[in-house]
Structure 1
Amino acid sequence: MKKIYISADIEGIWGNSNPANTAKNGYLYSEYCTNMMNEVNLVIDLLFQNGVEEVVVNDGHGNMDNLLPSKLDPRAAFVAANGAYKEFGMMEGLDDSFDGAMFIGYHSRCNSPGVMAHTIWGTMVRKVVVDGKELGESGINRLLADEFGVPVILASGDSEYGKQVEEELRCVFVETKKTLNNQCALCCSFNELKNRYTKGIQEALKVDEKPTLSSSHAMDITFHHSRNADFVSRMDNVEKMDDCTVRINKETYKDLYALMRFVIKVCNAYA
């Protein structure tokens, strides 16, 4: 594999466990970003050590401006943006030119065990169901990678998230910390983390298969509040299913994913 796409989140990163510090007003926010930066750079370095020639990084957390360009490994390209303007959010910049994708520092879906578990926007979204199956961010994003024919070859995060990786991704998993509860984790040493990534990346880069292209899907988005479903159901292609749930349909998953992003962003603007 010569060209790898990295989508990075913050909750599953080694050392991070308190959601208060994943936002810019958290007193340890800079530390959480430093941990994210260090882990992403570790992955980038190992990829180049193992023969990868091109790496593109996309920040997938919050406003998606947590990774500082001046601190990023200079060999990697990256997506820079105000997150609200990313049509494809956590997957911005992905296309069919990539040989593989990695989800770094991800977390479990809402209503399940795992450190800081949530789906897309924790205070807004209760769950997302695609074709009758509830998915977390991993599964939602994997379907977009499928449409581009790009295999997701590795994911990392806490131990409970690892169980969902088996279900939603079926790829190599690197455990960054052991889940104790929603806001408590047992972190290995950083040296051990390096060892785990070293082995995981070597294994992941051996993957030699392409996913089947995604077809059209139906997606149900359930909000915590009925007012959000009421509001977005005024839009074309958005059907209200119950008090808190709307259904969206598109001919391609790429268009469905972009509409999902817009529907959830509109709810945030008018929370």
Structure 2
Amino acid sequence: MKKIYISADIEGIWGNANPAYTMAGSELYEEYRLNMINEVNLVIDLLFKYGAKEVVVNDGHGNMDNLLPSRIDKRVFFVSANGAYKEFGMMEGLDDSFDGVCLIGYHTRSNTPGIMAHTIWGSMIEHIEVDGKELGETGINAILAHEYGVPIVLISGDDKLHVQYEEDIGYKTNFVETKKAINSQTALCCSWDTLVSQYEKAIQKGMNQESIKKEKTSHTMRIRFHYIRNTDFVSRMEEVKKVDNCTVEITKESFKELYRTMRFVIKICNAFA
């Protein structure tokens, strides 16, 4: 594997457990941001150590401006943006030229056990289903990667995510357990040395994966909001069907188009919530 894509979130990062500190302006946000930067840099360094020639990093949390370009490993390409303008959000910049994807610092889906569990926008979205199966951000993003024929090199997050991902997607993956979830805002974090060791083993193994067959097929997504006002608003779009008071349905001929539409629908709801 020569060209690797990293999508990084903050909730599953080592040392982070309190949602109050995951957004800019909060008391300990800079500490949580530093944890995210340090862990991403650890992954980058190990990817290059085990054969990567090019790495692209995309910030996937909040407004997607948590990773500071001046603090990220100087060898990588870096997606910089006002997050609202990213058509593909957490997966901006991914295409079929990549050999592998790393999903770093991810978390479980909404209303399930795990540290800071939610799906994309917790205060707005109750859950998302793809082809009748409820999925979180990890599963949704993995499907997009697979459509491009790009395998998942590794995923990192808490212990609950490991179990959930394999149940949702149906196969095992290289996983780095950053912490054990005691409850939604309490974690037992491993030592930093243990984290480094886990990443080294997972990346060394993951970099030997073979490419996978592209999976471009039609998909149907249902987005369930907390409030009827969101459903009413987005169902004005011709391609968005209202299923019930809080649920809309979208069908597209490829997951890429479905993902792009999902992203737009959710951002529109955020703008007018």
2:126 matched to which residue of 1?
A: 126
1:228 matched to which residue of 2?
A: 230
2:205 matched to which residue of 1?
A: 203
Structure 2 unaligned runs (5+)?
none
**1:252: Cα distance to partner?**
1.4
2:243 matched to which residue of 1?
A: 241
**1:116: Cα distance to partner?**
0.1
Checking the alignment, whether the CA contact within 8 Å between 2:3 and 2:99 is kept in structure 1 is yes
Deviations 1:128-176 (A, max 9, x none): 0010000000111111111111111210000111112212453111000
Q: Which amino acid aligns with 1:38?
A: N
Deviations 1:57-84 (A, max 9, x none): 0000000000000000001111000000
1:189 matched to which residue of 2?
A: 191
* Separation in 2, partners of 1:211, 1:189: 37
1:261 matched to which residue of 2?
A: 263
Deviations 1:67-106 (A, max 9, x none): 0000000011110000000000000000111000010000
Checking the alignment, whether the CA contact within 8 Å between 1:138 and 1:168 is kept in structure 2 is no
> Cα RMSD over matched residues?
0.9
1:105 matched to which residue of 2?
A: 105
Q: Which amino acid aligns with 1:207?
A: Q
Structure 1 unaligned runs (5+)?
none
Residue 51 of structure 2 aligns to a residue whose secondary structure is coil
* Separation in 2, partners of 1:25, 1:49: 35
Structure 2 residue 166 is matched with structure 1 residue 157: no
Q: Which amino acid aligns with 2:255?
A: Y
1:87 matched to which residue of 2?
A: 87
Q: Which moved more, 1:199-208 or 1:215-224?
A: 199-208
Checking the alignment, whether the CA contact within 8 Å between 2:148 and 2:214 is kept in structure 1 is no
* Separation in 1, partners of 2:46, 2:152: 17
Using the size of structure 2 for normalisation, the TM-score is: 0.98
* Separation in 1, partners of 2:190, 2:241: 46
Using the size of structure 1 for normalisation, the TM-score is: 0.98
2:11 matched to which residue of 1?
A: 11
* Separation in 2, partners of 1:195, 1:157: 15
**1:219: Cα distance to partner?**
0.3
**Count of matched residue pairs:** 271
* Separation in 1, partners of 2:211, 2:88: 24
* Separation in 1, partners of 2:150, 2:167: 18
Residue 12 and residue 211 in structure 1: after superposition, are their counterparts in 2 closer, same or farther (change >3 A)?
farther
The percent of aligned pairs where both chains have the same amino acid is 64
Checking the alignment, whether the CA contact within 8 Å between 1:13 and 1:106 is kept in structure 2 is yes
* Separation in 2, partners of 1:149, 1:196: 26
Q: Which moved more, 1:65-74 or 1:143-152?
A: 143-152
Deviations 1:165-214 (A, max 9, x none): 21245311100001100000001111111011011111111111314413
Checking the alignment, whether the CA contact within 8 Å between 2:149 and 2:211 is kept in structure 1 is no
Q: Which amino acid aligns with 2:3?
A: K
